[in-house]
Amino acid sequence: MIVTTEKLTKRYGDRAVVDEVSLSVRRGEVYGFLGPNGAGKTTTIRMLLGLVKPTSGSARVLGEAPGTPRALLKVGSLIEGPGFYPYLSGRDNLRVHAARRGVGKTGVEAALEQVDLVGAAGEKFRRYSLGMKQRLGVAAALLGQPELLILDEPTNGLDPAGMADMRDLVRALAAQGQTVLLSSHLLGEVEEICDRVGVIAQGRLIAESTVEQLRGDSQLLIRADPLEKAHVLIEGSTVHGDALHVREKDAGVLVRVLVAADVDVREVRPLRRTLEEVFFEMTGAA
Amino acid sequence: MGSVKAELLRLWKWPATWVLIGVWLVMTLTFGYVFNYLALNGGTNTRSMSQQQLISAMQPENVGAAVVRGLPMFGGAIILVLAALAVGSGYGWGTWKTTLTAGPRRVSAMAGTLGALGIVVVLLVALTFVVNLGASITVASLEGWDWSLPGLGVFKALGASLLIAAMWTGFGVFLGVVTKGPALAVGLGLMWAIVTENLLRGVGSLLGPVESLTKVLPGGSAGNLAGAVGGSGAPGVLTDLSGTTAALFLLGYVVVFVGAATFLKVRRDLV
Ligand SMILES: Nc1ncnc2c1ncn2[C@@H]1O[C@H](COP(=O)(O)OP(=O)(O)OP(=O)(O)O)[C@@H](O)[C@H]1O
Ligand SMILES: [Mg+2]
């Protein structure tokens, strides 16, 4: 296990912002830490890095207590946006960070290379675009080849192209065996790049599973004419407005059944549950 | 000691460092030499300083006093601003977060910041000395005075200067950590260094206990140490305490400010 937490709790006043969270991140996986705004993701991550002390419960990072040099030197992190000196160039910012981490010049250049910032490394951080700032943050996290990379909403504020770039970067790192803990409030993002997911809402970890399991049995949406006839033909289907929903993976079989019965099939598509729906279901069930 | 190196690198390339040092050097030159020189050469000498005093103040052998007298108030204020900005701005920029997750323990990170600030402040005092010495030699040569280099006593004045500078540095660091930002830290610090203590001294002339207190407040102690090692003729310089007493109070402030700031930095959550 790379990260384990045991009933990790943080209270501000009488409000439990992180409430008995027990999660685990395994070596080599990309772990998605999924939750809406204010769910407690950043607070949990801060506790894993020793920035915030837990009110109760405990955490282990690479077998060490969070925030100790032994833990920190093996973890690279980007929490709630990059924190750099605005008047220094990207490269100088990395040099400063590298000096603290005991990493040399070659490490700095390698990190710049990895995030594709070599060309802009001499420019002042202040003048960087949001995407460049975020990539520099990842570069800083990569310094010293950490065993665990913690990225807190790394695509926050990026445009679609920037988001795609960031996801590609994480995927590339994962392909090299890098363990990543990535927080997000976007189900699509987590689905795309994560192996396992922990879902947090209002401070509580309400699910921890693979992405497949999280999405649950997929449903199909079917629009057909006449709808009533289709509804009768397809066992277990439910009517939602002018469409049917059915828990079934094989669209081909359904379409053949309907067409054979002379029903016009206008639309068949997988019904993507939104994050909201997943949450409502989970919090409702909990 | 990667922490010192890191912090020094970023302070060195910080424009604010050089702007503040530059402003201070210009101030010390202007008030220590330019105005005195002009007053000596035909300016109507309305101030109480006699010709002899002006000459003495600008003599190279008195350069130690010239360095130390500026530090209790205005020099101290500039050093305080530098320290408060250096520490306070890290909260807004998020660089404390980066620093505290880099690896070294918090005490080491804080020691790195203090060490690097210390080096910068020693440099500031050294530059003040060099610039003042250069100015005094220039004036003495222009005027054709008999002049000599300062004696060993200059080290006493420089030591006092460093102690005063260290106190203001610690004060600035403390304010930066307590207020978690540059603006309030600088505002409160300047207010204290330039306004509050002077107001209290004003009240002190009416109320005995307040008067004894003002002597040992940070600025008061600094002023008394400066006065004790020969500084005179500048705002904030006092002669109410012995040099040793003033130095002990300053040392106490350094320990308290640095200790409290480090304690808070180590113990407090960083959010
Ligand atoms: N220092 C603090 N004092 C009081 N409340 C806090 C503090 N820090 C965070 N909170 C509260 O804790 C809750 C969780 O915050 P946190 O930043 O962990 O959420 P998050 O999941 O990261 O959200 P987001 O997606 O918006 O980043 C929020 O409601 C926030 O207001
Ligand atoms: Mg967050």
Same domain, yes or no: A64 and A114: yes
Return mean pLDDT, chain B.
92
Same domain, yes or no: A57 and A198: yes
pLDDT at B188 (0 to 100): 97
The DSSP string of B107-128 is: HHHHHHHHHHHHHHHHHHHHHH
Q: What token pair was written down for A115?
A: 């995030």
- What's the total number of domains in chain A? 2
Report DSSP state, residue B103: S
Nearest CA in chain A to B108: A100
Same domain, yes or no: A182 and A228: no
Return the higher-pLDDT residue of B80 and B144: B80
Q: How confident is the model at residue B190 (pLDDT cuts 50, 70, 90)?
A: very high
Q: Is the pLDDT of residue A113 over 50?
A: yes
Q: How far apart are CA A235 and CA A233, in angstroms?
A: 6
User: Taking CB atoms and an 8 Å cutoff, what residues of chain A touch B7?
Assistant: 96
Give the closest residue to A29 by CA, choosing from A147, A161, A187, A169.
A147
Quote ipTM for the complex.
Answer: 0.92
Same domain, yes or no: A69 and A124: yes
Residue B132 lies in domain: 2-29+51-267
**Residue A110's CATH number:** 3.40.50.300
Average of per-residue pLDDT across A223-241: 89
Any domain includes A279: no
B2 closest CB neighbour out of A87, A92, A99: A99
Chain-chain contact of B9 with A80 (C-beta, under 8 angstroms): no
Any domain includes B167: yes
The DSSP string of A48-84 is: HTTSS--SEEEEEETTB-TTSHHHHTTEEEE-SS---
> Position B154: which residue type?
V
Q: How far apart are CA B168 and CA A181, in angstroms?
A: 43
pLDDT at A276 (0 to 100): 63
Q: Is the pLDDT of residue A286 over 70?
A: no
Any domain includes A266: yes
Nearest ligand for residue A151 CA:
2
pLDDT at B47 (0 to 100): 55
- Look at strands A75-78 and A148-152 and give their pairing: parallel
Q: Is the pLDDT of residue A217 over 70?
A: no
- What's the total number of domains in chain B? 1
Any domain includes B17: yes
The upper half-sphere exposure of residue B124, i.e. CA atoms within 13 Å in the direction of its Cβ, equals 38
- Look at strands A56-61 and A238-240 and give their pairing: unpaired
Confidence (pTM): 0.89
Any domain includes B116: yes
pLDDT in tens, B73-126: 999 999 999 999 999 999 999 999 999 999 999 999 999 999 999 999 999 999
Whose alpha carbon is nearest atom 25 of ligand 1?
A37
Distance in Å, alpha carbon of A85 to nearest chain B alpha carbon: 7
Q: What token pair was written down for B23?
A: 């402003």
Average of per-residue pLDDT across B164-169: 98
> Position A269: which residue type?
R
Same domain, yes or no: A230 and A194: no
pLDDT in tens, A45-87: 999 999 999 999 999 999 999 999 999 999 999 999 999 999 9
Q: How confident is the model at residue A250 (pLDDT cuts 50, 70, 90)?
A: confident
pLDDT in tens, A116-147: 999 999 999 999 999 999 999 999 999 999 99
Any domain includes A284: no
Q: In Å, how far from its chain's centre is CA B122?
A: 10
Rg (CA), chain B: 19
Whose alpha carbon is nearest atom 16 of ligand 1?
A40
Q: Is the pLDDT of residue A193 over 60?
A: yes
The sign of the CA dihedral A172, A178, A182, A186 is: positive
Task: Identify whether the C-beta of residue B160 lies closer than 8 Å to the C-beta of residue B243.
Answer: yes
